[in-house]
Amino acid sequence: MVIDYRNLNAKTKTYNYPISNKILKIRQIQGYNLIKSESFIEKHFHHKNNRTNLLICNLTFEVEKPAVVSLLPEKIVSGVTPEQKILLHLPRVDYFDILAGPVNGLFLVQEIFRGYGVHLSLRNPATREFRPLPPAPFVTEHFLCDYDHAFRLGFDQLTQDYKVVRNRVFFDDRGQGQGYYLHLSVSVYSSCDNSWKNLQFPSSFTSGSPYSVTYFNGIYYWICRSLNNNICKIQSFATGSEQFGEMQGPDIPGKHWMRLTSRGDLLAMLVNDKSMTSIYEMKQEGSWSKVFTVQSCIDAAHLPKNIWENDKIVFELTETSQLVLYDPTTSQVTDLGIHQRLIGCCVFNYQESLALITKGNETQDQDNTDRANEVYNY
């Protein structure tokens, strides 16, 4: 079988002879190798036309309802419900959650399949590639009770290594009426080695439940609250050096709802107290300043989910499980067309990426070799 390419674009060379399938497949391999090269992936990610969009993940633990990851358009017109683009549609999942990301367009995902247990994987929604992670090894004493855990995803630029950190918090119940003690176990996964290792968490750091994880400039950040809520610190983990850090968060009186995120080129925090939402920025380590406070005109109870375009806020209406975008400059509320499931949804600022999730160059080269063999044995 041959294909006659006589009607090509005027800017390209016109062929007046048939091109065999074998030659076309060779050209496909050349194009495949190009888009898989590090230089092309880097240029694509930083291209001016590759802009940031809002990515929404509907979380689910209902077997009859699929998990859905959708993308909203780059421009959201005030007062007009935007059209969603479905990136992933995952049926037959008993539970689906995005635990961390995006980092270079990749996410750390947790899935539970009935009868098959819990699975962690790295996923690229743009290419639909995914890579399962091996189970994290944990050896615990019988007197430790599992209390909480958190995951983080980062990238070591020097070694081109994606790393996953898992913090697991345990109660030590040997106090016999004298109170509980917290133990923190930390393990790190390396995509280069495809394996986990255990790390020692600094004993001098605040012990508490970690939450609201965000990744910024090669460092994971998360909020750590002590059990009695009287101490709140920002803890961190540097992906390259694998060193932990701890610093002071914003001076926020009382008990407030807080979420870490980024705003432009700075680490930021959303703080909510009833109808008031404030945005704080960290310009130097441990030095926070309030940028502005929003008192929205939304009558229903709501919580902030993330920042959009530096000055707009995505809110969840807690009673109706609906997502809206609020513009404080115009007081305009825009329905995003997202109605959450029973356990809610995640909202991310996402940039498309062609980043690979293969096990290093060896797997990638083998894949190309197999494709070439297929062509020449055609």
**Domains contained in the chain, CATH given:** 2-36+364-376 (no CATH), 56-355 (2.120.10)
Reported as a pLDDT band with limits 50, 70 and 90, residue 254 is low
Q: Of 46, 123, 57, whose CA–CA distance to 314 is shortest?
A: 57
Residue-wise pLDDT tens digits, 330-350: 888 888 887 766 566 788 889
Q: Is the pLDDT of residue 227 over 80?
A: no
Region 207-221: what's the mean pLDDT? 80
Provide, rounded to the nearest whole percent, the portion of the chain with pLDDT above 90: 5
Lowest mean pLDDT among 183-187, 277-281, 341-345: 341-345
Whether 258 contacts 267, CB under 8 Å? no
Whether 288 contacts 278, CB under 8 Å? no
Question: Between residues 32 and 7, which one has the greater pLDDT?
Answer: 32
Region 66-85: what's the mean pLDDT? 82
Q: Is the pLDDT of residue 131 over 60?
A: yes
Q: Is the pLDDT of residue 224 over 60?
A: yes
Q: What is the dihedral of CA 17, 19, 23, 28, to 10 degrees?
A: 120
Average pLDDT over the chain, rounded to an integer:
74
What is the C-alpha to C-alpha distance for residues 80 and 77, in angstroms, rounded to an integer? 6
Q: Which residues contact 315 (CB under 8 A, 6 or more apart)?
A: 296, 298, 302, 303, 304, 305, 323, 324, 325, 326
Q: Is the pLDDT of residue 275 over 70?
A: yes
Given this model, what pLDDT does residue 340 score?
63
Lowest mean pLDDT among 17-21, 151-155, 228-232: 17-21
Q: Of 284, 147, 282, whose CA–CA distance to 207 is shortest?
A: 147
Q: Is the pLDDT of residue 27 over 70?
A: no
Reported as a pLDDT band with limits 50, 70 and 90, residue 25 is low
Q: Which residues contact 111 (CB under 8 A, 6 or more apart)?
A: 90, 93, 95, 96, 118, 119, 121
Q: Is the pLDDT of residue 310 over 80?
A: yes
> CA angle 335-341-342, nearest 5°?
130
Q: Is the pLDDT of residue 363 over 80?
A: no
Given this model, what pLDDT does residue 163 score?
92
Whether 153 contacts 357, CB under 8 Å? no
Q: Is the pLDDT of residue 169 over 60?
A: yes
Given this model, what pLDDT does residue 106 score?
92
Q: Is the pLDDT of residue 368 over 70?
A: no
Given this model, what pLDDT does residue 30 score?
57
Q: Is the pLDDT of residue 362 over 60?
A: no
Report H helices in 338-377.
Answer: 360-376
Provide, rounded to the nearest whole percent, the portion of the chain with pLDDT above 70: 69
